[in-house]
Amino acid sequence: MTGTPLPAENHGQGHQPHQAYQQPQQSQQAYQPQQPQQAYQPQQPQQPHEAYQAQQPHPAYQSQQTHHAQQAHQTHHAQQAQAQAQAQAQAQAQAQAQAQAQQAWQQPAPVPGAAPAPAFAPAAAPTPAAPAAASAASAASAASAASGATGASGPADASVPAAPGAAGYGPATLAGNARVTDAQRARLEGRSPVIEPGMQPAALTALLGLLLAGTAAVGSWALLVPLVALQGLTAAGWFRLNGMWPARQGIALAFLGALVADAVLLAAGRPNAPAAILGTIGVWVLLTLVLQLRSHADPDERMYGLMATVTSAALAIMAAGYLGSAPHAVSVGAAAVAVALLARALPLPTAASVIVSVVAAAGAGIVVGQLTDLGAKGALLGAGAAVCALIGHRVASYDYPSRFVHFTAGIALPLTAAAPCVYVLGRALG
Q: What does the mean pLDDT of the chain come to?
A: 74
Distance CA 91, CA 155 (A): 31
Using DSSP, state whether 76 is helix, strand or coil. Answer: helix
Q: What integer pLDDT is reported at residue 73 of this predicted model? A: 56
Q: What integer pLDDT is reported at residue 121 of this predicted model? A: 43
What is the band of 158 on the pLDDT scale with cuts at 50, 70, 90?
very low
Q: What integer pLDDT is reported at residue 185 of this predicted model? A: 81
Q: Is the pLDDT of residue 69 over 70?
A: no
Alpha helices in 107-161 (DSSP H): 132-151
Segment 159-197, tens digit of pLDDT = 444 444 444 555 554 555 556 766 778 778 888 888 889
What is the band of 102 on the pLDDT scale with cuts at 50, 70, 90?
low
Q: What integer pLDDT is reported at residue 184 of this predicted model? A: 76
Higher pLDDT residue, 304 or 100?
Answer: 304
Neighbours of 348 (CB within 10 A): 14
Q: Give the percent of the chain with pLDDT over 70.
A: 62
Neighbours of 406 (CB within 10 A): 25
Segment 386-401, tens digit of pLDDT = 999 999 999 999 888 8
Q: What integer pLDDT is reported at residue 190 of this predicted model? A: 84
Q: Is the pLDDT of residue 363 over 80?
A: yes
Distance CA 32, CA 39 (A): 11
Whether the CB-CB separation of 305 and 289 falls below 8 Å is answered with: no
Single-letter residue type at 11: H
Whether the CB-CB separation of 191 and 392 falls below 8 Å is answered with: no
What is the band of 25 on the pLDDT scale with cuts at 50, 70, 90?
very low
Single pTM value for the model: 0.58
DSSP code per residue over 137-149: HHHHHHHHHHHHH
Distance CA 133, CA 122 (A): 24
Whether the CB-CB separation of 406 and 357 falls below 8 Å is answered with: no
